[in-house]
Structure 1
Amino acid sequence: MRFRLNLLFYPLLGLAACQPELNPGPRVDFVASSRFTTGNRRLTTPGDTVATRIYGQAQGGDSHLTQLKITATYQPVPEGIIYPQSGYEEGKQPTLELIYLDTLLPTTPALTKEFAFQSVQPARTTAGTEVWKYEFRDNENRTGSRSFQLRLGRTDSLITYHSYTIGLQAPLANSQMRRSFLALRSGLALPKFTVRRNVEAQQLIDLLYIPDAATGPGLATPSNQRVVDLKAWPTKRITRIRSTTLTDATFATFTTTEQLVSAFNAGTVFPSDSTYTGRVTKNQVIAFRTPEGKSGAILVQDITTTGVPTLVLQVRIAK
């Protein structure tokens, strides 16, 4: 916006004395580096992550920043969809807007004349676009924003199941940044700050990472009573999980909806808690069924313990 205003300034120079003083909202910029994304990108890996650092600065002597809001708009929706044989028009499919972060900034003006925020965000696993918008608001209710678009293409969009690989991170008590919450249909791994008070985001979540120092990490549904924070969620997805004796080789053969349905139907309820897997092991296969009746399977591809503990999961789910 600022560059456009500058371009318009010269033709209107003679009218400047008659116009009210321009009163811009916050200045917003992306911080550039080899690590951070600052503009539109074409992605090649489903479920990739994108690092950004956004900088906001209040304009005017008495102004200070009061709010930072980050949204992602997915076109089409991030879940796997069955494309029509004919008549498909890009950009005319249902969309989803996800509030990734909405936070009030400290009320002390001296602390919020300028503000920077860095995050690593999940990208979509299905073909389509997503627009990330970063908006600062000031104490005079003026806003400034920047955005970029990510685009992912996939050659397997016409098959009847959706597949992806995703890393689910162990939660940390004093951090809300780790991506520990998984929406199975879309493959979005979201951090705690996205789902904590966001009812719409909560209703996307099927599984979360459960650490256990004594036995090892596991997966649980939002109905599990081990997670105190989730007791306040007004609506929880009732996704069902089942234990299987399937191998990684069998998982690799799943290419039809019927196979995924059969895997769930043949599975058994986890013995100690139907909402919790207990300790998972490498190459373990877990079957599931979402509230919408979508059946799927999860292969625990890897369990990393160095750095940020992570469960690397391969997921196949019926569209």
Structure 2
Amino acid sequence: MLFLPTNQAQIPTFVAMRFRFLALLLFPTLFTACEPGLESGPRVDLIGSSRFSTADRRLTKPADTVAVKMFAEADDSPLTRLTITAEYGPVPEPIVYPSTTAEIDKLPPFTYTYLDSVLNPAGNTTTQVALQHVLSSRTTSGLEVWRYQATDEKGRTGVRSLRLRFSRPDSTQAYHSYTVPVQIPNAFANRSFLALREGLVFPKFSVHKLAANQAIVDLVYLPQRRTGAPTLATALDDTLNLKWSTRRATLIRSTSLTAATFATTATAAAFTTAFTQGTAFTPRATSTGPLVKGQVIAFQTPAPDSKYGLILVQDIITTGIRSLVLEVRISR
């Protein structure tokens, strides 16, 4: 939920401590000048509770849900911008892991912007911003660093970060798998836009104007107009009325697989067969129509790096935030 503003050699410990104490006595001005926390500008804090995370965490499951509450306050200049980014290292999509850590270290991290919001640009007097952010973590092994940054009218920034690490015991298997909830898009912060390969789920505010995120979205939760029944639509479905510069041409097909046969389908060849033997959805090939629990959908992501996979509708949640719980398997 988004709340917008209201108005190299080791030194023995005791030696190191003594050195720092003497240095502070001898050079107090130098140390004060180099301490960024003492400079004026926005202050950003992560607020902790039984629900909200403030400390770095090691996660135990893919696409885990993490809630964060951020508070930013300006000193002598109004706040003008709020950004949320996540840096993934290595990349968030599944990879074929190299044989040495040196090769892994060569893989550059990749950063997605989840929010880039200008705060009241005309006559802005905003000095405080509060934000609640519920994120879906990475589905592949690696580190993600979430940064919450506020910028004031003078261009000064304040930032707080949260590091989340996840390790999969099955990172070298032939396919990538995860279970993730996809929420009905009736609120700006609901996570309704799914990138199948990465397993990332974006809220509406992360795809509203951010083309990099739009370009990797494969499926969107779309309730039927008359009945409200849950459906999944590809980004090319005209009913979504997406005005994006790039709409990903993912293909989906109906299958006769059950939850039991889904569980035993575990190779790239089997995913391909399920798709080629599947049938196009009607009346629109870009929409599943009303979904039922236990239904299995086959898909093919677009070229040049096309992948086949399956989606099991594991559950349909009708209380609270209406959601589809999807189990996804996709070839590497």
TM more than 0.5: yes
Match of 1:57 in 2: 73
Q: Which moved more, 1:24-33 or 1:123-132?
A: 24-33
Residues 131, 140 of structure 1: alpha-carbon distance in 2 compared, 3 angstrom cutoff: same
* Residue equivalent to 1:273: 284
Closer, same or farther: CA 318–13 of 1 in aligned 2, 3 Å: same
| Alignment RMSD (CA, Å) | 2.1
In the alignment, which residue of structure 2 is the partner of 1:203?
215
- Return 22-31 or 135-144, whichever deviates more: 22-31
Shift of 1:13: 3.5
Instruction: Could you tell me which runs of 5 or more consecutive residues in structure 2 were left unpaired when the two chains were aligned.
Output: 1-20
Superposed displacement of residue 224, structure 1? 0.3
Q: What TM-score, normalized to structure 1?
A: 0.90
Q: Could you say which residue in structure 2 is the equivalent of 1:73?
A: 87
1:221 to 2:228 alignment = no
How far does residue 91 in structure 1 lie from its aligned partner after superposition? 3.7
Instruction: Select the residue among 23, 42, 45 that pairs with 1:29.
Output: 45
- Counterpart of 1:186 in structure 2 is 198
Would you say 1:120 and 2:134 are equivalent positions? yes
Q: Which amino acid is 1:76 matched to?
A: P
Indicate how the Cα distance of structure 1 residues 179 and 14 shifts in structure 2: closer, same or farther if over 3 A, else same.
closer
Counting matched residue pairs gives 304
Match for 1:305 among 318, 324, 327?
Answer: 318
How far apart are residue 160 of structure 1 and its match? 1.4
User: Could you say if the C-alpha distance between residues 11 and 150 of structure 1 is closer, same or farther in structure 2, counting changes exceeding 3 Å?
Assistant: farther
Contact 1:177–1:191 under 8 Å retained in 2: yes
Q: Which amino acid letter does the alignment assign opposite residue 164 of structure 1?
A: Y
What is the Cα deviation at residue 11 of structure 1? 4.4
2-structure distance, mates of 1:259, 1:66: 52
Deviation string 1:161-205 (CA, Å, 9 cap, x unpaired) is 000000000010xx2100000000011111000011100000110
Partner residue, 1:4: none
CA distance in 1, matches of 2:73, 2:171: 42
Contact 1:218 1:276 survives alignment (8 Å): yes
Mapping 1:1-319, distance limit 5 Å: 11-13=26-28, 23-60=39-76, 63-86=77-100, 89-107=103-121, 108-110=123-125, 112-172=126-186, 175-212=187-224, 213-214=226-227, 216-228=229-241, 230=242, 232-291=243-302, 292-319=305-332
Q: CA deviation at 1:113?
A: 1.2
Q: Residues 304 and 268 (structure 1 numbering): CA distance in 2 closer, same or farther, change over 3 Å?
A: same
**CA separation of 1:288/1:141 partners in 2, compared to 1, >3 Å: closer, same or farther?**
same
**How far did residue 142 of structure 1 move?**
0.7
Q: Shift in Å at residue 119 of structure 1? A: 1.0
Structure 1 residue 115: deviation in Å? Answer: 1.2
SS at match of 1:263: helix
Q: 1:211 to 1:146 in 2, by over 3 A?
A: same
Deviations 1:29-72 (A, max 9, x none): 11111211112100001101110111111123xx1111000000
Structure 1 match to 2:15: none
**Matched residue of 2:49: which SS?**
coil
* Alpha-carbon spacing, 1:289–1:15, altered in 2? closer, same or farther (3 Å): closer
* Aligned residues of 2:97 and 2:104 also touching (Cα < 8 A): no
How does the TM-score come out when normalised to structure 2? 0.87
1:27 and 1:90 map into 2 onto residues whose CA distance is 35
- Whether the aligned pair in 2 keeps the contact of 1:129 and 1:150 (CA below 8 Å) is yes
Q: 1:94 to 1:261 in 2, by over 3 A?
A: farther
